[in-house]
Amino acid sequence: MSAKSLIGGHVSVAGGLATGGLKYMAEIGAEMIQVFVTNPRGWALTEGRPDEDAKLAESGVETFVHTTYLVNFGSPSPETLANSIATVRHTLRRGAEIAAKGVVVHTGSAVTQPHDDAMRQVRENLLPLLDEIPEGGPDLLLEPMAGQGAMLCATVQDLEPYLAALDRHPRVGVCLDTCHAFAAGHDLAAAGGVKETFDALHAIAPGRLKLIHANDSKDVCGAKKDRHENIGAGHIGAEPFAELMRHPAVAGVPICIETPGKAPKHAEDIALLKKLRDT
């Protein structure tokens, strides 16, 4: 039998990374966690508290870190690019300090510049950061977007040129968000949709899927809108999540919710995913 996926969620770290994060983890019944180590909507690079870092690292809890939403290696703004480099470097270091498995980064947008110029920027600025990751440090996980605007990577197929631009670096992994994939046109709700999507991902990036963001979608397939919904309450529905957990490419890959609501809703979503996994 294939390895079961740990199921967890993005947790509140109010009160400290370990103190707050592990408390919220217990409250929602999570088996793994994702955290922010900086303000998700700002550029301030906050340092950790050594006691909290050590407590989380020593807890043995499988942890992932999400970078700030502002990171964009494809931006034509020199300021945004410089801040993105500094933020990802900082977050990779913080990830290592808490023994995180991976640091999730959005694949970015060309905004107003040509796609090729933006991809050249991605290559020139991400490759050095990947080379800096120490042995035992977290992998950098690329999260494709919902396809709105001049996004550099939205579909599974878009990962092929993106990975090629990074020379298929050994420290690059993939974080697939189900809402983003659905919004970008992968019809996970259709018969065979999950198999087709994850077969394609395995063909393009074998062994690189390190995390799944399990989110239902408030919008229809192909809407190119990133609006998360609780599991089973959106246009994807519950059954595709059961199906994806049975796909060989997902064996042992942690599954993390980023759904609306507070602890009671998150506990419901995790309980439903566990039920789908275990039956």
Indicate the annotated binding residues for Zn(2+): 66, 106, 143, 177, 180, 213, 226, 228, 258
- Residues 6+ away with beta carbon under 8 Å from 215: 177, 178, 179, 228, 229, 231, 257, 258, 259
Report residue 107 CA to chain centroid gap. 10
Residues 277, 279: Cα–Cα separation, whole Å: 6
DSSP character at residue 4: P
- Residues 6+ away with beta carbon under 8 Å from 175: 64, 102, 104, 141, 142, 143, 210, 211, 212, 213
DSSP symbols for 176-220: EEHHHHHHTT--TTSTTHHHHHHHHHHHHSTT-EEEEEE-EESS-
Cα torsion 87, 35, 237, 273: sign: positive
Decide: helix, strand or coil at residue 13: coil
Annotation: binding site: 66, 106, 143, 177, 180, 213, 226, 228, 258
**What is the Cβ-side half-sphere exposure of residue 89, based on CA atoms within 13 angstroms?**
13
The amino acid that residue 172 corresponds to is: V
Counting every residue written for the chain, the total comes to 279
